Amino acid sequence: MKKNVSIILMVAMVFWLSAAVIYADTVGEKDKCSVVLKETAKPNHWAVEINFTNDEPLFGMVFPLHIWSDKGELTYDSTSFAGTRVEDFAVKIPFQDTENYKDTKGLMINLGLIGSVGFESTELKPGSGPIAYHYITGTKGVTTESIVVDTTFIYPSNRIMGTMIDAKTRIKPTFEFKRAGK
């Protein structure tokens, strides 16, 4: 029995390491996704700014985020791409998954981006800056300090990543969350 458990653990480790290699950023420098929580002029209202730094052109990206507070409820209001690096992308889909995660505390928001769907190829050029702004509202008691944003896995297979135009080269960026002014 102990031998079977050892074999199962060994196989699981091989799969885990394989997945880590497949989703690694193997092109140039390590890309970075930085999420900044900012208070807006409205009370109990925040902007979740998604920033991205890349050193290679990217054709598509996925940003699944889990946003929660231990001080109250959060509501997803909208997403804006105005003035961002992907403003001209053909497909920009923010999606709040309320069906698969109805028992999960907080918000599960998946952002999918595709440069173009026609013959011309629109890509995210190498650089750094905002990708999108999610806007959220909190109930009384929610504070900037109580809100946490983290990357997550959203069913069926969405994890934070980018892909190059060949649709084979995947980029898995590092992730950081911070609060504006902190």
User: Is 160 inside a domain boundary?
Assistant: yes
AA letter at 31: D
How many domains does the chain fold into? Answer: 1
b/e map 167-179, b = 16+ CB within 10 Å? eeebbbbeeebeb
pTM assigned to the model: 0.82
Q: What confidence tens digit (pLDDT) does each residue in 82-93 have?
A: 999 999 999 999
User: Is 22 inside a domain boundary?
Assistant: no
Q: What confidence tens digit (pLDDT) does each residue in 8-32 have?
A: 433 333 333 334 334 455 556 899 9
User: Is 120 inside a domain boundary?
Assistant: yes
- pLDDT above 90 (res 108): yes
* CATH code of the domain covering residue 159: 2.60.40.680
User: Is 169 inside a domain boundary?
Assistant: yes
